[in-house]
Structure 1
Amino acid sequence: MPSSPEIAISPRQIIASGMCIGCGACAAGSNAHMTLDAYGQFKPAGPGTRDRSAAFGRICPFSPAASNEDELASRRFAATPQVDARLGHFTAAYVGAVAEGGYRQHGSSGGMVSWVAAELLRRGLIDGVAHVRPATDGPHFRYAISRTADDILAGAKSRYYPVELSGILAEIRTVPGRYAIVGIPCFIKAVHLLRAEDAVLRERIAYTLGLFCGHMKSARLVESFAWQMHTVSEAVARPEFRLKGPERPANWYTAQLTLRDGEVRQQDWFNLADGDWGAGFFQNSACNWCDDVMAETADISFGDAWVEPYSSDWRGTNVVVVRTPELHDIVQAGIAQGRLELSRVDADYVAATQAAGLRQRREGLAYRLTWRRRGRRPRRRVAPSNALPFRRKLIYRLRYAISAWSHSMFRLARWQHAPVIYLSWARAALRLYHGLAYGRGRMGAVARWLRLTTRND
């Protein structure tokens, strides 16, 4: 595999280029620290962020000097029998759910993430699991280490909220033991880049459990939901992003806010001004330049089965991509014991469950790479391409604009103490997006006229 170039880069340069995902890798063991910025996204701060170094270039997941996912995976999973451009290296793939205990009930999907983490703990293979759990102070969620199955279940469910790794990595360095880390693709990549530089982390982080990812949201998503449920973010004690119940299919997201006075408020995502996930509201800008949907550097990865009949099953269903033989043995034992209800599937099946995300991260990324922009770019595995129909280009342009402007419009609304500024803009932006991109409403007629005009030209 080609080696990555040695380039001296500073965190400030990555931030300025819009490539900082806020993972906290650069603040782990340095004189920088992570803080939420004006847009509700974690960024490194402190004097250390000005220092250029080749070491930082090697550990930042969006650095042009860092090894890419193919390079990392080929070194880690050289013996895996299958390689697919969409899934990466893998031993086997499955669809299904956990049959035992309350894992499926407590999780957003089929409960497989919590089950594998708990099984590693039960077998004595690890001493703790680093994953995202509700916080009692500060931001609503943060990384913490769970050392019992009950604590692992307390961290189940999807958390569409910014978190960072620096604190938990410091704890792993301080407290001896073997650990598993659960994270989205870029966080898992950052962990492996750090492990290559740090012998202590290399020894203590024994397993990585990856989560399929659409994109990272900012903390403003919860604030916006609060505005639309006629409250303020300061009154929110606990947000939930995906309720589970027989009255709604798995792909019908319902948000719930539990207020500090105990009152509970709910709203379906499709009734919210910014509830269309694919439109990109509050998306971190680095996500526009990511090409990893399925956490290709993780030992095992999990996603939602967004195909029928599973997407309508309110109980939730996982797709699972297993990469290491050891974890495959654990999964197979669970199936044989009747603890897991999983069916084997191929790469095409898994890719079909994530079709929208793959289009955005591959086809869409190829188009975005043709745009002129300032700053450094990460080393991507997708070649720039402008060979797209007009409608697809329009979709990617609108998503990019919505993700960028949502941060600014929300900041303006906060500054003016006027939620209507952001909410009016968001509703108008969503109508424009649905109309021009998908032909809905009055703007659909405009889109059809534009397509005809483009063809005639």
Structure 2
Amino acid sequence: MMLRAGSDTADRVVRAGLCSGCGLCASLAGGQMEVAESGYNRPAPAPPVSPATDRLIAAACPGSVVAPWHDAPIVDPLWGPCRQVLTGHSADEELRHQASSGGALSALLLLALDTGRIDHVIQVTADPDRPTRNIIKISRSREEIVEASGSRYAASSPLERIMDLARGEGRAAFVGKPCDASALRLLCNSDKDLRERIPLVLSFFCAGIPSDSGVRGILREMQIAESDLKEFRYRGLGWPGQARARTHDGRIAEMSYERSWGEYLAREVQFRCKICPDAVGGVADVACGDAWYGSEKGYPVFKEEQGRSLVITRTAVGDELIDAALRSGYLNASQLPIEDLILMQPSQARRKSVVGARMAALRATRHPAPLVDGLEVKAAAEQASLWQRGRNFLGTIWRVTRGKV
């Protein structure tokens, strides 16, 4: 019998609508990922794996379990473990402009590479054959890191070949979504060699993974056929930057971030992302995001500015890296009171506060749900009103009973 990635666990996770598309199961099973009819990455069917391999998948798959947060001076229910909280940007102005939110994450990668902390970076970049989609990239130079910078609001599976890539020569930094970082951390619990070969894990604040149908809507409004695309950027070249399409014959079309995300991409985010208990990269060494300027109404302002990154160190490794980046001039940044985070990332705060209600709805309908112990889900729920919790509880029940997961 053919199962997703040959795994009972992966098959159940996909059928329950809990797959994040990270690619972990495919790597462990020696399989591959594919773009499903839904427009999300899913493990391809394969012959059954051994019980031991299925246990490894079950212990790390983000649709099965999410890695718990570790201790830190502050463990905030919304923002996770915090050792340092900063705002700043890459000292390299080209990188600051090219990247999506100040280039801090890319600056840290450059520092780690230049100083020999790592030999290469495992990350994703645009697929040259399908520019709206993503592929895994091994970056070994400044040029490659700069080329891969910028947000990619499309399905990505950076763990799809992690076992093979990590067995190569040298030590790597890994950059992935919070769910990717969770899966990697849990896998490293049972693989000391993997842990030593990937000494640095970076992540970012994530608003969820949209289906392919989202970017197709953007292209329709731009009146550009996907087959004509030479390049597609979701953001970057400024902050927040424009969604930007360039065709083989030189035509260029742009759409504001506020419209491309708000009117197209956000509406196509997969269900697993809607119940994510850690969308802020809580188990990474360092997590970065947009340090949005807030309006009087409490919402971010998306007018074009010079890029500004939010940076949170989660571990001693992250602390050391940030301190080195500040000393050596790779990063310009200053400390930020943690109380200011909600002004910069209000949507992350709102979403985390209702995850508990959404998970309760899954339990009430006896729908499968990932284990989320050690992620302060109950404490975060206290910051949502009774009306907000009830609305999200009932809305999730509606989704489940109508098969919209």
Normalising to structure 2: TM-score of the pair? 0.84
Comparing 157-166 with 256-265, greater Cα deviation is found at 256-265
SS at match of 1:217: coil
Q: Secondary structure of the equivalent of 2:43?
A: strand
Task: For 1:262 and 1:321, locate their aligned partners in 2 and report how far apart those are by CA, in whole Å.
Answer: 40
Q: Tell me, yes or no, if structure 1 residue 282 matches structure 2 residue 260.
A: no
Distance across 2 between alignment mates of 1:308 and 1:109 = 15
Greater displacement, 173-182 / 82-91:
82-91
Partner of 1:353: 344
Q: In the superposition, relative to structure 1, how do residues 60 and 275 fare at CA in structure 2: closer, same or farther (>3 Å)?
A: same
Partner residue of 1:369? Answer: 360
Q: In the alignment, is residue 265 of structure 1 matched against residue 277 of structure 2?
A: no
Q: 1:277-317 deviations in whole A, cap 9, x for unaligned?
A: 7x941111111221112100000110101234995561111
Give SS of 1:290's match: coil
Q: 2:67 aligns with which of 69, 76, 91?
A: 69
CA deviation after TM superposition for structure 1 residue 368, in Å: 5.3
Per-residue CA deviations over 1:252-285 (Å, capped at 9, x if unaligned) read x53211123221112235556x7347x9411111
What is the distance in 2 between the residues matched to 1:173 and 1:220? 33
1:49-102 Cα shifts (integer Å, max 9, x gaps) = 687733321020220xx3x433xx32xxx4x43322222223211011122352
1:196: Cα distance to partner?
1.9
- Give the structure 1 partner of residue 32 of structure 2: 33
Distance 1:315 1:281 in 2: 28
> What does 1:103-118 correspond to in 2, within 5 Å?
103-118=95-110
Change beyond 3 A, Cα 1:237–1:142: same
Q: Residue 42 of structure 2 aligns with which residue?
A: 43
The higher-RCO structure (CA 8 Å, 6+ apart) is 2
Letter in 1 for 2:245: L
- Aligned pairs for 1:282-321 within 5 A: 282-308=268-294, 311=301, 312=303, 314-321=305-312
User: Is the CA contact (8 Å cut-off) linking 2:78 and 2:352 kept in structure 1?
Assistant: no
Give the 3-state SS of the residue equivalent to 1:197 in structure 2. Answer: coil
Residue 125 of structure 1: aligned partner: 117
Aligned to 1:96: 88
Distance 1:108 1:157 in 2: 5
Aligned residues: 384
Shift of 1:113: 0.7
Distance 1:348 1:403 in 2: 35
Shift of 1:32: 3.1
Indicate the residue corresponding to 2:155 in structure 1: 162
- Secondary structure (helix, strand or coil) at the match of 2:368 reads coil
Q: Distance in 2 between matches of 1:404 and 1:150?
A: 49
Deviation by residue 1:384-440 (Cα, 9 ceiling, x = unmatched): 9798455775588779989999x99xxxxxxxxxxxxxxxxxxxxxxxxxxxxxxxx
Alpha-carbon spacing, 1:132–1:403, altered in 2? closer, same or farther (3 Å): farther
CA distance in 1, matches of 2:31, 2:234: 31
Alpha-carbon spacing, 1:390–1:174, altered in 2? closer, same or farther (3 Å):
closer
Structure 2: which 5+ runs fail to align? 1-6
- Equivalence for 1:137: 129
Deviation at 1:119, TM superposition (A): 0.3
Q: After alignment, is 383-392 or 98-107 more displaced? A: 383-392
| Larger Rg belongs to | 1
TM-score by length of 1: 0.75
Is the 1:39–1:218 contact (alpha carbons within 8 Å) kept by the matching residues of 2? Answer: yes
Deviation of 1:347 (Å): 2.1
State the shift of 1:364 in Å. Answer: 4.7
Q: Deviations over 1:342-367 (max 9, x none)?
A: 11013222243222122112225424
Say whether 1:85 aligns with 2:71.
no
CA contact (8 A) 2:166 2:172 kept: no
* Aligned CA distance change for structure 1 residues 159 and 129 (closer, same or farther; 3 Å): same
How far apart are the structure 2 equivalents of 1:142 and 1:93? 31
Displacement of 1:31 after TM fit? 4.0
With over 3 angstroms needed to count, the CA separation of the structure-2 counterparts of 1:190 and 1:226, relative to structure 1, is: same
Asked if 1 retains the 8 angstrom alpha-carbon contact of 2:326 and 2:332, the reply is: yes
2-structure distance, mates of 1:170, 1:260:
36
Find the counterpart in structure 1 of residue 4 from structure 2.
none
* Aligned residue in 2 for 1:231: 224
Higher mean alpha-carbon deviation, 147-156 vs 29-38, is at 29-38
Q: Tell me: CA distance 1:95–1:340, structure 2 relative to 1, closer, same or farther (3 Å).
A: same
Counterpart residue type for residue 201 of structure 1 = L
RMSD: 3.2
| Deviates most, 160-169 or 307-316 | 307-316
Q: Tell me, what secondary structure is at the counterpart of 1:301?
A: strand
**Distance in 2 of aligned mates of 1:126 and 1:352:** 35
**AA partner of residue 327 (structure 1):** G
- Counterpart check, 1:148 vs 2:141: yes
Task: Provide the C-alpha distance between the structure 2 equivalents of 1:360 and 1:404, rounded to a whole number of angstroms.
Answer: 22
**Counterpart of 1:448?**
none
SS of 1:181 mapped into structure 2 = strand
Whether 1:344 and 2:335 are equivalent positions in the alignment is yes
**Partner letter of residue 343 of structure 1?**
S
Contact 1:104–1:110 (CA<8 Å) still a contact in 2? yes
- d(CA) in 2 for partners of 1:202 and 1:337? 27
Q: Closer, same or farther in 2 for the Cα pair 1:216/1:104, shift >3 Å?
A: same
1:216 maps to 209
Structure 1 unaligned blocks of 5 or more: 1-7, 409-457
Match of 1:190 in 2: 183
Tell me the residue number matched to 1:452: none
Q: What CA distance in whole angstroms lies between the structure 1 residues aligned with 2:175 and 2:188?
A: 15
